[in-house]
Amino acid sequence: MQGSVAVTLMSYGEGRRRLEVPAATATVDDAVRLGGFDIEGRRVAVNGRQASGGSPLVEGDVVTLVPRVMGG
C-alpha cells in the first residue's frame, strides 16, 4: 500500500488538525502521534464511534479525542 490517508484530528480544548497519515500504518495511534496530541487518559472516537489506538483509519475519517470526565 502506498500514499497517505487524509484524516481530521480533533481534541476538545486543543483544536483541530488535518493530517496526512501514511496509508501503510494508518491507525488512531499514528494520527495522534503525528498531530502532537497525547492519547493518555482520553476516550477516542472515529466518526463518532468509540475506537482504540489501534483502530485503522481510512480517507476522510474524523478522530476525536475526548477528555475523560470524572465526577461523583
Distance (Å, rounded) from C-alpha 20 to C-alpha 18? 7
pLDDT of residue 14: 83
CA distance 72 to 69: 10
Q: What is the pLDDT of residues 19-54, one digit of tens each?
A: 999 998 899 999 999 998 888 888 999 999 999 999
Of the candidates 20, 31, 22, 26, which has an alpha carbon nearest to the alpha carbon of residue 64? 31
| Cα–Cα dist 56/26, whole Å | 6
| Domain spans in the chain, listed from the N-terminal domain onward | 4-67
- What is the share, in percent, of the chain residues with pLDDT greater than 70? 93
Judged against a pLDDT cut of 70, whether residue 1 lies above it is answered with no
Q: What is the pTM of this model?
A: 0.85
Return the CATH superfamily for domain 4-67.
Beta-grasp domain (3.10.20.30)
Averaged confidence pLDDT in the chain:
89
